[in-house]
Structure 1
Amino acid sequence: MFEEWLSRCRQSRQLVLVIVAIALLLDNMLLTVVVPIMPEFLYDIQHPDHPLSVTIPPAPTNELPVPHGDMSGPTGNETQWKENEATLKKERHDDLVHETVAVGIMFASKAVVQLMVNPIVGPLTHRIGYSIPMFAGFFIMFISTLIFAFGRSYSVLFLARALQGVGSSCSSVSGMGMLAERYPDDQERGNAMGIALGGLALGVLIGPPFGGFMYEYVGKTAPFLILSALALGDGMLQLLLLQPGVVKTEGDPPSLKSLVMDPYIIIAAGAITFANTGISMLEPSLPIWMMDTMGAGRLKQGVTFLPASISYLIGTNLFGPLGHRMGRWLAAMIGLVVIGICLMIIPTARALNDLIVPNAGLGFAIGMVDSSMMPELGYLVDIRHSAVYGSVYAIGDVAFCLGFAIGPALSGTLVNTIGFEWMLFGIAIINFMYAPLLYILRSPPTKEEKKSLVTGEKSSVRYISYQSENDDE
């Protein structure tokens, strides 16, 4: 009886969708749980005598703390205290701005590693199937989470973040490929991928406030231990239902080169990249900017991305089916324009409440782009190549990772050189400029139309050549 029930479960497309959604949920919880933890944790490692959690105390009338060291000894009058307080604040500001670079590089390392691994995982799924890479992704994520839990230096935490990139590549590419294979109908596929991206959105939603709350009241280790336990449960579920094993893909898979040379696939992938670059720039820089301009603590840093995450969850689930009806190209085009507008509004915020509307709009618009372009990649492969999906979703994941590699890697340097405001204005302008290109995806030619076009061109060449020969005679 149990074996029959288990057999039915293994054949269920809905349970496969649940497994993929859970894998994306946990991966993105780990991705974002570090956002409110790492900036302050790394600052405190480098400044053990002046941690961020300790504010500069007001001086008694006749007593003045020194800028460095003991904060209780008498050193002068109130005027000098104000000068020393200003010096301390200036030093802290400079340290925070400088730290943006280190935090940005750490955050970017995951995406950079994922970029390098994706071209390997995509073609590998054509040879061994999706279940083994999916399980490998769980195992690597489990190890990465444990390293985050017990790491106490920048280099060890950098290693954990980079290792997560390998696991994310395995989970994302194989998960999306598995869904595209199990849901061959274009509309059903869009709905399924919208739900799976909802799992991703939920991870982004839960991660920052969960990390901020646990770090504030329990400590750095606790959130990562909880995540490792959840990852272990996901691994057990995969073993039970997916039964990882070698399954060779039927049909002739398109080469990675032919997909990369397809301009329609590149335009769809580019939309994913630019849509996610803005939010990835904000991840390392916004918490530090809030500390500097608003004096925001851990909890405020943790909840600042909450509106974006909630609206991303709504956007992905709404535009999975809606994008198919209105035209995915149009949904993504509108999304890029809205992203640009929201990025330009964010630097005008002077309090946490001012960030709610632009962050919510940003998350909703990114959801529009992701939930439209991910199924569009599968559709383009169906009509222009062959229905084998590992490589095209490796390209889709590369596009996603490019945004999350470029953003954090450049944000620290850009904040130092042109400032937080102009950094966001720049990426907003890029989104505005890219949006019109999506009109090209309105009616992409099919494989047969491509062949007809090529055949027609060859016939024209032969006809012209024949005419030239006759004229010479």
Structure 2
Amino acid sequence: MKSLRTLSPQLRRNLLVLFAAGLFFWSSLASLLPTLPLYVQAIGGSNHDIGLVMGSFAIGLLLSRRWLGQMADRRGRKIVMLIGMAAVAIAPLGYLLIQFIPLLMVVRAFHGLSIAAFAMAYAALVTDLAPDEHRGEIIGYMSLVNPVGVAFGPAMGGFLQEWLGYTPLFILSSGLGLLGWICTMQIQEPRIAAIESTLPPHPSTQSPEADQFWSLLLSPRLRIPTLVMLLIGLAFGVLSTFVPLYIKESQVALNPGLFYAAAAIASFGVRVLTGQASDHYGRGLFITMSLGFYTLAMSILSLATEAEMFLLAGVMEGMGSGILIPMVVALMSDRSFPHERGRVFSLCMGGFDLGLIIAGPALGFFAEQIGYRGLFQLAAGLSLLAVVTFLTQSSKDIPRSLRFAVGRDEDAYAIKASE
């Protein structure tokens, strides 16, 4: 917290308003996590239908990433955040009015645009505002909006649905999005063009190909983090779609919202500790730890028979996500300039989106064949593959990758390191 006190009053106010907007956003989105699969089931949807509807969220994410990333770099972060807030406020009203599966898929895809817009622009703006020497620490603190929102939202959504039904739930989710939109309107952002003009020349910015959105994907600095996010997106797609149904099928006396709350509380704790530490020990060590936690979480879920095991898996998943997302954001910040961060973040997080797209409908079909336990065994295998990939491919060769992944070497692709 010491580094935050060194910031100017205007910058601290900006960060505070930005933090409040993030809380409203994630609370709105997370309030539907434990309830929307049950809602689709309640209106007659099968496991495959549930997978299609939930997976459509990631379709909206992926299809909107490119133009939103370009817009964030060219027109600023704030307008993109406002688009995301508008989507998170409007989509719940669509769920309320529509009970036809194909149209629900359209609404869910529109809902996915919210994360593509808000989360990407939020991360880029926080990075723009953070001093280089405290980047990991401030990203860590500002990323707390996710676990706090995801702790409050699912518990609130689950209990409200049980108490009053789906209509008040969808109205509340929409109202939280509206409050977030109002907060976002108060934010002041730096001019990206001004930042860009102060940058020293760098080979990655001189090539016309490097300025092309999709060409960035194959660059050494992006491809392995994006692949790791794809594998974790596949695993997370299983978790986010099927945990409520798995708990129900297991006849365990546990509100699914408490699983997400346990994950969020664990996520909160590790973010406070690891953000500042990564400024000193590097991002690689903590990314490796996070992937290990994901593997443990999926393995525990594949064996869960009691509420305590589900909650332990939630804690492990929360620790994994609480470390992984801020560390990948910090890693991509280290490897990019301000004027390209919207595109870089969109591509890297797009790997996670693609995993969600594949996981929902494809694994929803397999759920009928191998059951929920089999799905989580598969998710554990995907998470383990992500660990192996990062350990061996995160730098220029296997020895350097291993050293970087365990915190014994610098990031070979960081902009500072190459200048």
> How high is the TM-score relative to the length of structure 2?
0.82
Task: Output aligned runs, 1:12-411, within 5 Å.
Answer: 12-46=10-44, 99-185=46-132, 187-242=133-188, 250-251=196-197, 255=211, 256-294=213-251, 296=253, 300-382=255-337, 388-411=340-363
CA shift, 1:448, in A, is 9.0
CA shift, 1:392, in A, is 1.0
CA contact (8 A) 2:195 2:339 kept: no
CA shift, 1:245, in A, is 10
CA shift, 1:313, in A, is 1.9
Q: 1:230 to 1:420 in 2, by over 3 A?
A: closer
Equivalent in 398, 412, 415 of residue 444 of structure 1: 412
Aligned residues: 386
CA shift, 1:422, in A, is 2.6
SS at match of 1:416: helix
CA shift, 1:347, in A, is 2.3
Give the distance between the partners of 1:336 and 1:449, measured in 2 at CA.
Answer: 25
Give the distance between the partners of 2:150 and 2:299, measured in 1 at CA.
Answer: 22
CA contact (8 A) 1:343 1:425 kept: yes
| Letter of the 1:40 counterpart | L
Deviates more, 1:305-314 or 1:143-152: 143-152
Give the distance between the partners of 1:389 and 1:374, measured in 2 at CA.
Answer: 10
Give the distance between the partners of 2:196 and 2:278, measured in 1 at CA.
Answer: 30
CA contact (8 A) 1:285 1:411 kept: no
Give the distance between the partners of 1:146 and 1:244, measured in 2 at CA.
Answer: 34
Q: Residue 62 of structure 1 aligns with which residue?
A: none
Give the distance between the partners of 1:445 and 1:295, measured in 2 at CA.
Answer: 47
Q: 1:207 to 1:449 in 2, by over 3 A?
A: closer
Select the structure of larger CA radius of gyration.
Answer: 1
CA contact (8 A) 1:332 1:372 kept: yes
Give the distance between the partners of 2:361 and 2:272, measured in 1 at CA.
Answer: 30
Give the distance between the partners of 2:355 and 2:339, measured in 1 at CA.
Answer: 27
Q: 1:353 to 1:127 in 2, by over 3 A?
A: same
Give ranges in structure 1 of 5+ residues lacking alignment. 1-8, 47-97, 452-473
Q: 1:324 to 1:274 in 2, by over 3 A?
A: farther
CA contact (8 A) 1:26 1:203 kept: yes
CA shift, 1:110, in A, is 1.4
CA contact (8 A) 1:145 1:227 kept: yes
Q: 1:234 to 1:301 in 2, by over 3 A?
A: closer
How well do the aligned residues superpose, as a CA RMSD in angstroms?
A: 2.9
Give ranges in structure 2 of 5+ residues lacking alignment. 1-6, 200-204, 396-403, 405-410
Q: Residue 79 of structure 1 aligns with which residue?
A: none
